[in-house]
Structure 1
Amino acid sequence: MSMLNKAMDFIKMYYAENDLPEEQMNQRLGEVEQQITEHGHYTHTTDELAYGARVAWRNSNKCIGRLFWQSLQVKDQRVIIDEEIIYEKLLEHIDFATNDGKIRPTISIFEPKKVRIWNHQLIRYAGYEQEDGSVIGDPDSLAFTKQCIELGWQGNGGQFDVLPLVIQIEDHPPRFFDIPQEYIKEVPLRHPEFDWFADLHMKWYAVPMISSMKLEVGGITYAAAPFNGWYMGTEIGARNLADEYRYNMLPIVAERMGLNTTSNSSLWRDRALVELNVAVLFSFKEDGVSIVDHHTAAQQFKRFEVNEASADRDVTGNWTWLIPPLSPAATHIFHKQYDNTKKSPEYSYQKSPY
């Protein structure tokens, strides 16, 4: 579909869903068509951009947390074409979104073609490959960590070193900026029943701020549009800390629990997985950091489905992502089928800049 067609569809949707006068819509359609005809692109108003970003969340087939799509706080940063000011705005995003643990869903949207953020997430842990092939830190960050080191960054070689922000303007060399410690809220993990759990020295950062995806609204693509909600506990406890190719903590937790790890039928992985997730939820809540368990998230998604039906909109979804990685059959999502058709506006993956 051409940019003009995408733009026309988006503008019509914007005016219809916001109950705006048809006369204004027709005038705006004329302006957009003229801009595209003369320049090959057009510029969203701040209100159009905010609406597009929120609807893109509503359309996110992989996201179970879409009930709150209308609460997304949109920061329009399109006028900024300077690495140091972009860095300042990213720190503002981190601070605003973190909100001392009372997390606010937030997106910062930068100039569509000239700005790129190299990070997968604004806050993420480094991964260091050792001579024997083992990894200290997050194995999923190996490639990006190497890029940061080549740019001149020096990590501490630890399990939970926060990577710098890497920002690139057009074809200029990328620049890295360290995130001051006061902006980084982390949660040390402990367990409500196992005192030894704290001795494992596990922790995780409070806010997942995705910065590697692009936002498409009405035919315009924003390559730098970092956004966040809050964590569902299983993202940390059943994936980041549990996957064999990530922190792989299940064998260690199982050993400390005294489980029989020589037999699959002992279900040691399942038992360790549950307690690891108990620790994540317990620790975040003890520290006053927003988080949701997967059962509550599924109930919220059911409310989202009801809301969308009442608005006469179809709910699309990617079933393999919507089901939680822990006890999926205990949620209604497991027992339903979803149409995975992608709608615009949308967030989607883009080619890595490195």
Structure 2
Amino acid sequence: MRIPSTRTVPTRSRTAVVDSVWSDAKEFLTQFAQESRGATDTDRRLREVRSAIEATGTYRHTTEELTFGARLAWRNAERCIGRLYWNSMTVRDLRHLHTADDIAEQCVEHLRTATNGGRVRPLITVFAPDRPGRPTARLLNEQLVRYADDPRSRQRTHLAQGLGWTRGDKDFDVLPLLTRTGRDDTPRFHELPSDAVLQVPLTHPQYPAFASLGLRWYAVPAICDMALRVGGVTYPTAPFNGWYMGTEIGARNLADTQRYNLLPTVAQLLGLDTSSDRTLWKDRALVELNLAVLHSYQQAGVTITDHHTESARFLTHIEREEQHGRTVAADWSWIVPPISASATPVFHRYYDPPNPHPHTAFVHHASAADTH
């Protein structure tokens, strides 16, 4: 018989945790006080938080702090070109919810609210942080909406089918939400209602035959495999979205060879010479595929932006931040669009390097990506 260990966690380890949380909390709350009109009596608030962290190892944000923190995490997202809109994100504070059923239900509501009839709203829904004895259910999906036939979704599709999901055999079948409450719990699936997922059929303004390909994509790119970290507190389940830039769909999701790999199909439809790479058939097919995406979303009345417009707006964002005395960290390889790179202004400059340890950020965490 194995005897349970009675060894306690060394005091130094607990002290290190408390010091780490307090350090991040102090930096965040100081920044909140500097930038937010809602901050009052910062010294008293810091004393309250310090006392809570020493007693429990964590603390609770006010709604105003959480709202600022979620928006700040977007502002700090060095791989996002759409940060000009960071302060417009709507924050749904649902920290009182932590069960799988409640989270699935409110993720559906997130999609409906964010879709907004096609006028997509930047939105984040923040569920409860973990507490001792009460873990918050995780979403195992990469995004709230993904397709079962997308090669990137293969593992999650198999997981859902193994749990009893009976779909996934048709093109563009929408995956269910996958949740798990603890690492040892069996995952569960939750079907997304069709009225919560707005999809756009893809057509081309000059090639009517393009519609025969039967392509589509969804309106809201709601990321859910990242945790929200705000001033030392981590919210493991916090799906968030902006709106699509056309190249995310046309140049990556539909064109990447490890995804839908549609460039050969589009080239054949357009009658392009594919005998040699030097005919630039891939480039021509890529442009037409991206044009189809932008055209289709515009025709459907669904918010989308193009890479030229968004590149110019990103430089506007940098100018605004510099006017406030703030630098903008950016990952060049993500900011520069995947097509026509040198034709956009973001290509022709360098950026401040990312902060390796920001106190407030969206971060990948293993439990969200682990679908085994």
TM-score of the two chains, using structure 2 as the length reference: 0.90
Q: Which residue of 1 aligns with 2:13?
A: none
8 Å Cα contact 1:121-1:210 kept in structure 2? yes
Q: Which residue of 2 aligns with 1:118?
A: 140
Distance 1:74 1:272 in 2: 39
Pick from 289, 295, 312: which aligns with 1:276?
A: 289
The aligned amino acid for 2:352 is: D
Matches within 5 A, 1:136-151: 137-151=149-163
8 Å Cα contact 1:260-1:266 kept in structure 2? yes
Pick from 344, 348, 352: which aligns with 2:359?
A: 344
171-180 or 329-338: bigger deviation: 171-180
Matched, 1:299 2:312: yes
Q: Which residue of 2 aligns with 1:163?
A: 175
Q: Which residue of 2 aligns with 1:210?
A: 223
Pick from 316, 320, 332: which aligns with 1:319?
A: 332
The Cα offsets for residues 67-97 of structure 1, whole Å up to 9 and x where unpaired, read as 0000001011111122222222111100000
How much has 1:99 moved relative to structure 2? 0.5
Distance 2:320 2:302 in 1: 27
8 Å Cα contact 1:59-1:344 kept in structure 2? no
Distance 1:320 1:339 in 2: 13
| Partner secondary structure for residue 2 of structure 1 | helix
Distance 1:27 1:198 in 2: 62
| Partner secondary structure for residue 329 of structure 2 | coil
Q: Which residue of 2 aligns with 1:40?
A: 57
Q: Which runs of 5+ in 2 are unaligned?
A: 1-18, 131-135
Matches within 5 A, 1:151-300: 151-171=163-183, 172-300=185-313
How much has 1:168 moved relative to structure 2? 2.1
Any runs of at least 4 consecutive aligned residues in structure 1 with deviations exceeding 3 A, and if so which?
Answer: 19-22
The aligned amino acid for 2:147 is: Y
| Partner secondary structure for residue 155 of structure 1 | coil
Number of equivalences: 343
8 Å Cα contact 2:297-2:304 kept in structure 1? yes
| Partner secondary structure for residue 94 of structure 1 | helix
CA RMSD of aligned residues (A): 1.2
How much has 1:152 moved relative to structure 2? 1.3
8 Å Cα contact 2:32-2:39 kept in structure 1? no
Distance 2:72 2:127 in 1: 18
Distance 2:218 2:342 in 1: 28
TM-score of the two chains, using structure 1 as the length reference: 0.95
The aligned amino acid for 2:160 is: C
Distance 2:168 2:277 in 1: 37
Q: Which residue of 2 aligns with 1:85?
A: 102
Distance 1:111 1:21 in 2: 23
Pick from 9, 12, 21: which aligns with 2:30?
A: 12
Distance 1:42 1:21 in 2: 17
Distance 1:245 1:3 in 2: 40
Distance 1:156 1:14 in 2: 45
Q: Percent identity?
A: 46
8 Å Cα contact 2:168-2:175 kept in structure 1? no
| Partner secondary structure for residue 217 of structure 2 | strand
Distance 2:345 2:189 in 1: 44
Q: Which residue of 2 aligns with 1:133?
A: none
Distance 2:199 2:269 in 1: 24
Pick from 40, 64, 69: which aligns with 1:52?
A: 69
| Partner secondary structure for residue 273 of structure 1 | helix
Q: Which runs of 5+ in 1 are unaligned?
A: 127-136
How much has 1:318 moved relative to structure 2? 0.2
How much has 1:154 moved relative to structure 2? 1.4
| Partner secondary structure for residue 316 of structure 1 | coil
Pick from 305, 310, 316: which aligns with 2:323?
A: 310
The Cα offsets for residues 139-177 of structure 1, whole Å up to 9 and x where unpaired, read as 000111111112111114012010001122235432211
